[in-house]
Amino acid sequence: MTEIQKKVQELGFALPSCPAPLAAYVPATRFGETIVVSGQLPSVNGDLSDFCGQVPTGISPEKAKNAAAICFLNNLAAAMTLLEQGETLRLVQMQGFVQSEKDFHEQPAILNGASELAVKILGEYGRHARTAVGVAALPKNASVEISCTFQVVPEKVRFNGRYNWIEKK
């Protein structure tokens, strides 16, 4: 189990399987030390019916904030499929889209659900640049869609208290 998986469990979440794409694209792609994740919806086991509609009339801001956290977990799951042993993730950028009524202007507060969870899971590696955009519609009527860019970094090495250094497992 990776450090990321352990932290997700400690926080009371389950890291989902990598969500299947809805069309002709891949969930994530890696080039060098960069992983770009396709936009992820707040689906839980393929179901996003609890997180549909425009904010704030079709879904409450608080529930949309929870949807953003689920989107981040789905991004994390997609990115982790491209890691090799001894590697971990640093979140570089988050692009978030919130299906909003035209007079709703609190998209950054909604995306805090994802940003705050990123820091809880990844620590300093979870601090990131971000874009928050209100849109009229999203695929499958989802309330939130998030796409992340990660940097692949080596897991930190720790001293085991004896004579040699060992890698985190």
Provide the pLDDT for residue 167: 56
For the chain, domain boundaries? 3-14+26-167
How far is 144 from 55, CA to CA, in rounded Å?
A: 9
Contact between 137 and 90 under an 8 Å Cβ cutoff? The reply is: no
pLDDT digits (tens, 9 = 90+) for 127-159: 999 999 999 999 999 999 999 999 999 987 655
Per-residue model confidence (pLDDT) at position 20: 85
Structural tokens at position 155: 């897991």
pTM of the model: 0.91
Alpha-carbon 129 to chain mean position: 13
pLDDT at 1: 80
Q: Which residues of the chain have pLDDT under 50?
A: 169
Bridge partner list, 22: none
Least Cα distance to 113 among 35, 12, 42, 7 occurs for 42
pLDDT given for residue 21 in this prediction: 86
Q: Is 38 helix (H, G, I), strand (E, B) or coil?
A: coil
Strand-pair category, 144-154 with 157-159 = unpaired
From edge to edge, which strands make up the β-sheet containing 129-135?
28-31, 34-37, 144-154, 87-99, 129-135
Per-residue model confidence (pLDDT) at position 160: 56
Architecture label for domain 3-14+26-167: 2-Layer Sandwich (3.30)
